[in-house]
A and B are shown apart, each in its own frame.
Chain A
């Protein structure tokens, strides 16, 4: 009986089941991927060894091919809670740097996407002339233009925050523009005719009909845009030798073969993405309540 199920059973249990499966597969994969190195080392020692020694070895290497979950968790915990927040070893510090660029890039991308959509909906010239360029812009790999953005904006005296935000904006305006064009065109004929019978101006039609009608489309796009913006900010930190940010942390980890550090930064990036998308969803729910949506 669905209606007698508690929220715990409906939401928490499936999440725990999936998480358990992932952790088990991860441990197994760690054994499998690290086994060649560990068995080589055990052979080198020359003492007899068995499954127990092999498994223990694969789950406790200093630079494993794939670190075990508890190693990543331990590193993550230490760099989040046992490290001063202003230290370059603190994941909070790096996440904060990336968060700033992500949020700024998201805000710029939303603004640009909405403006483009308003232009496209109101002007046939923009509709035909601009959309092909917008689509073309998304076919260029971001890794190819990220260094150029950083160099150009850097030489113009902008801080790294700005160049990362611009890269994020470049990635995330696209879903917003596409979603908003559809949203601004979503009012039906009767709703538009009604505005015509009132002799409403284009601005009134925009603010009293098109924009409210586009809100569900905006939030669907915003969730995609937020996740994309985080990717953009991290990519923006990769090619530049940045000293701070999750991307810089990933890059320095790979320079020095610190796989545990890489994975712990990846976990941080994933958690940051989940939190940011959850924030968009919370804003969406609050907006829906204000707009009288069905509970």
Chain B
């Protein structure tokens, strides 16, 4: 492994993300919109953290700030001990969007190869790496298919394999299963959890499904809109190694209830 440019970043105890007093105000035509207001958050390495909240609560914006796709207007943020821009330039994270955003003129294998071509991995190695990621998301045998030949769930799995191909320590997932049916979503949730347990990556996951957040995460960051801010950060007491049956337990219901109460508190002001 090549050492990252900053000596601070190579320290394994450096948190994946540290935000303090983070704010972002969008200048729109009529009035400024406060997308994020005074956000304080620390995410340790290896955590699975979900951002949950209604539309407009800034959960996607916060994720995009971490990814250096938006610039905060106040406060501080560090990713792997560096600025988000340095982290992006070092290709420190993989981003999975709401839609699969596959390139339709590339087949499955070549879509996963794309990031590896861009960072200049030698041809033989990038093929090996891409095939490994496709196996990880259960898509062996689909290498030659084009995106239009796949179901929505399979397309999203390709996009996860594509994000994993960079071998990032940090995986940013923005409502990746939001457009899928519930059966497919359950299946992919379980696969994602197994993947996280096997790889030990840090995962930040945006969702508006309470059961998805409780099932997947160590910690659940509950957010509220107007202005976008953090209401409460809930530690998930459910044990590791969960399967879908855990959702029928009283412990699961108790955590979900806490999340629901926090979401309701976020709405109490109006």
**Taking beta carbons and an 8 Å cutoff, which residues of A are in contact with B?**
188, 190-191, 193-200, 204, 208-209, 212-213, 215, 291-294
Closest 10 CB pairs of A and B: A292-B146, A190-B101, A291-B105, A197-B95, A198-B118, A212-B105, A190-B97, A200-B118, A198-B115, A199-B89
Q: Does B45 contact A (CB under 8 A)?
A: no
State which of B88, B97, B103, B166 has its C-beta within 8 Å of the C-beta of A212: B103
Decide: B88 and A209 in contact? CB cutoff 8 A: no
Closest Cβ neighbor of B159 among chain A residues: A194
- On chain A, the residues within 8 Å of B88 by CB distance are 196-197, 199
The answer to whether A208 touches B118, judged by C-beta atoms less than 8 angstroms apart, is yes
**Chain B 92-139 residues near chain A, CB threshold 8 A:** 93-95, 97-99, 101, 103-107, 114-115, 117-119
A197 touches B67 (CB 8 A): yes
CA distance A198 to B95 in the complex (A): 9
Whole-angstrom distance between the alpha carbons of A293 and B95 in the complex? 26
B148 within 8 A of A: yes
Number of B positions contacting A (CB below 8 A): 26
- Contact, CB under 8 Å: A199 / B91: yes
Number of A-B contacts (CB under 8 A): 54
Are B99 and A190 within 8 A (Cβ)?
yes
Which chain B positions have C-beta within 8 A of A199?
88-89, 91, 118
A194-B101 in contact (CB<8A): yes
State whether the Cβ of B179 lies closer than 8 Å to any Cβ in chain A. Answer: no
| Given A204-B118, A294-B148, A197 and B69 contact (CB-CB distance below 8 Å) | yes
In this complex, what residue of B is CB-closest to A291? B105
A193 touches which of B93, B97, B106 (Cβ 8 Å): B97
- Please name 7 pairs of A and B residues whose Cβ atoms are closer than 8 Å in the assembled complex, sorted by A: A191-B103, A196-B88, A197-B88, A197-B94, A197-B95, A208-B103, A208-B118
Known pairs A197-B95, A199-B88, A292-B146; A191 contacts B117 (CB<8 A)? no
Bound Cα distance A139, B91 (Å): 49
Q: Chain B nearest CB: distance from A193 CB in Å?
A: 6
Q: How far is the CB of B167 from chain A (nearest CB, A)?
A: 13
Is the pair A198, B107 in contact by a Cβ cutoff of 8 Å? no
Which chain A residues lie closer than 8 Å to B117 at the CB level?
208
Task: Give a binary string over B131-162; 1 marks a CB under 8 Å from any A CB, 0 the rest.
Answer: 00000000000000010100000000000000
Known: A193-B101, A213-B105. 13 other contacts (CB 8 A): A188-B101, A193-B69, A194-B101, A196-B69, A197-B93, A199-B89, A200-B118, A204-B118, A208-B103, A208-B117, A215-B105, A292-B104, A293-B105
B 44-68 to A, binary, CB cutoff 8 A, 1 in contact else 0 = 0000000000000000000000011
Our pick among A204, A209, A293 for the contact of B103 (Cβ within 8 Å) is: A209
Contacts of B101 on A, CB cut-off 8 Å? 188, 190-191, 193-194
Residues of A within 8 A of B148 (CB): 294
Q: Which residue of A lies closest to B117 (CB)?
A: A208
Listed residue (A193, A194, A208) with the most chain B CB atoms within 10 angstroms of its CB: A194
Nearest B residue to A287 via CB reads B105
A204 to B116, CA, bound (A): 12
- The interface residues of chain A lying within 8 Å CB-to-CB of B104 are 292
